[in-house]
A and B are shown apart, each in its own frame.
Chain A
Amino acid sequence: MDIVVLIKHVPDTGAVIRLTADSADIAREDLKMVLNPYDEYAVEEALLLRERHGGTVTAVTLGPEEAQEALRTALAMGADEAVHLIDAAFAGGDALATARALAAALRRIPHDVILCGKQAVDDEVGEVGAAVAQMLGIGQALGVIRLEVEGTAFTAERPVEGGTEVVTGSLPAVITCTKGLNEPRYASLPGLMKAKRKEITRLGAADLGLPADQVGRQGSRTRRLDLSYPPVHSAGKVVGTDAGACGELVRLLREEAKVL
């Protein structure tokens, strides 16, 4: 089975985030970056599929030079191959532009199952998986907590409002992964050593036959105007320090906040 995992290098969710002076981006110096947490579930699921069905796991990322760290993490977890889509032309690309580049790469990489995280914890858009599926003309199941693959078919379960949907479809397909699907393994020491030495395939826009107006800023159809801090919540009222405060709390919720 040819399993491909699309991954992203993102700021650690615990990192302190600061804006640049022009509010156009977040300050990147000294920012701790990690493999997108949702992509960890995807890498783990890829490894489990390989254990069950045999084959190879290829991790693919689009990003600047530092993004190769995400590929090294995936390799250390056990991925067999790594592909880095890297080109100045890719800079500033939104989900649509990024998906175009990834789809172009996937047309050259054999794939029975394409896995990725439900969304990146930085932009939280969650569009790339679906966009890639549409561009490749294959099915999708997004935000999956259970996956079974049998021959050329899959069955997946995904939480939705008020319950769970069971999705079935044919392979190849894009499956995006979320918490509950599996327990991602830690990289082993031999895995880390092997990952350091592994040669990563690098592909640019020209290698993928992508003209400049299809990728990066030019290929995007959304544009960020600015970033800002949300309004700060002013500290609320400490109503009391024990059970005796409950009567007053209920009164406040009814009469002041009017939420009861």
Chain B
Amino acid sequence: MPSILVIAETRDGTVRPTTLEALGEARRLGETLGLPVHAALIGSGITALAADLPGTAKVFTVDEPALADYSSDSYAVVAGQIVAESGADLVLLAATARGRDLAGRLAALLGAGLAQDCTATAVVEGELCLIRPVLGGRLRERVVCTGSPRLVTLRPKAFAAGPAAPAGEAVKLPVALDPSGIKAAVRQFLPAAGSLDVAEADIVVSGGRGVGGPEGFALLEQLAQVLGGAVGASRAAVDSGWRPHTDQVGQTGKVVSPRLYIACGISGAMQHLAGIEGARCVVAINRDPQAAIMQRADYAIAGDLFQVVPALVEALK
């Protein structure tokens, strides 16, 4: 029987929030299309996590010491076997770094269509259409996958997790793996020092050319701290060496979907706006009332950020 399969991502013994978002969408699609939803758990010592996948009919687990280190080549082989075993005709993953790493490989292994980094789904005359941004978000593309199975990765934070529900029965699949056949694997994860990743934060305070230099970012860091958010930067600020490229928000940086994005001294070039398309609420603080960011912002203060940001910190305390 055709079904929907969500390939779960785990880290440090927990299921990633992005997996729960994908599972939420899988369940909504399952209801619309009349399909059961299963999940796949791949790794070592992960079987117990099956209980943390609500609304599933079955959770297929492949739990092997050889899979302790993530490897796109071995995980793709295992995922392919789970797809076959589960009879899944639609496979969903979150479009995280790892999800995209696995999806491209799995698509080639299965000869399957992959709709990558989708921000919405639609069922039109019984057919699943995927909506995804292209050209830096300047346009939206509607695509369908042809043939079976179909692979879809979902943009993080673009979908809501589902309501609480019992998880499905865990079905352990035996998979014969040759550890010496593994071609590349993740051997280490180096957590970012202290700061919250802009791509994961619910609130982002971001700075651009108007901040004038690295010292100005201290004000933004204060604001971020009071809000419990992360500090981002425009390409101009990163290219000037004021902030690391891991903080860059925009088409050639990170795409962020916070509930609140405060842009300070950022003009709002198209490529930057591409990175904040998913932001629920945008606030702009810029001396130039004609700056492009002011059109995009939901609220704006057309003033000097060096006056406004400290006042905002005070108003929030």
Contact = CB atoms under 8 A, between A and B. Distances in A.
A169 B185 contact: yes
A228 B294 contact: no
A157 B187 CA distance: 10
Given A221-B145, A236-B298, A94 B113 contact: yes
B104 interface: yes
A162 B245 contact: no
Interface string A87-129: 0000000111001000000000000000000000111111111
Interface stretch (B30-38, B56-64, B206-214, B304-312): B304-312
B191 interface: yes
Q: Most chain-B CB neighbours within 10 Å: which of A19, A37, A124, A135?
A: A124
Nearest to B142: A225
A138 interface: yes
B162 interface: no
B277 interface: yes
A54 B140 CA distance: 44
B111 A96 contact: yes
B299 A127 contact: no
A134 B76 contact: yes
A89 to B, nearest CB: 18
Contacts of B142: 224-228
A168 B185 contact: yes
Interface string B271-285: 100000100111110
A222 B146 contact: yes
B191 A162 contact: yes
Contact of B104 (A129, A141, A161, A227): A129
Contact of A167 (B108, B185, B307, B315): B185
Interface string B285-303: 0000100001111111111
Interface in B33-63: none
B221 to A, nearest CB: 18
Interface string A1-33: 000000000010110010100000010000000
A160 B98 contact: yes
A10 to B, nearest CB: 9
B1 interface: no
B134 A123 contact: yes
B298 A242 contact: no
Interface in B232-275: 245-246, 248, 251-253, 259-260, 270-271
B139 A142 contact: no
Given A246-B301, A249-B299, A222 B115 contact: yes
Interface residues of B, number: 92
A126 B116 contact: yes
Contacts of A64: none
Interface string A224-253: 111111100101111111111111011011
A133 B96 CA distance: 19
Contacts of A139: 71-73, 183-184
A125 B116 contact: yes
- Counting contact residues on chain A (CB < 8 A from B), the size range is 35 or more
Contacts of B143: 222-225
Given A163-B191, A224-B143, A180 B183 contact: no
Contacts of A159: 97, 246
A166 interface: yes
Contact of B251 (A13, A228, A252): A13
B186 interface: yes
Interface in B104-147: 104-105, 107-109, 111-117, 129, 132-147
B96 A121 contact: no
B270 to A, nearest CB: 7
A127 B100 CA distance: 8
A249 B101 contact: no
A160 B299 CA distance: 31
Q: Most chain-B CB neighbours within 10 Å: which of A14, A99, A222?
A: A222
A26 B107 contact: no
Of all A-B residue pairs in the complex, the 6 with the closest CB atoms, nearest first, are: A169-B184, A130-B104, A139-B184, A139-B183, A221-B113, A243-B311
Interface of B: 71-73, 76, 96-98, 100-101, 103-105, 107-109, 111-117, 129, 132-147, 150, 156, 183-192, 197, 199-200, 203, 227, 245-246, 248, 251-253, 259-260, 270-271, 277, 280-284, 289, 294-304, 307-308, 310-312, 314-316
Given A17-B135, A221-B111, 12 more contacts: A95-B107, A124-B134, A130-B101, A130-B104, A140-B72, A161-B200, A162-B192, A164-B190, A169-B183, A223-B143, A236-B298, A243-B303
Interface of A: 11, 13-14, 17, 19, 26, 37-38, 94-96, 99, 121-135, 137-143, 145, 154, 157-170, 173, 179-180, 220-230, 233, 235-247, 249-250, 252-253, 257, 259-260
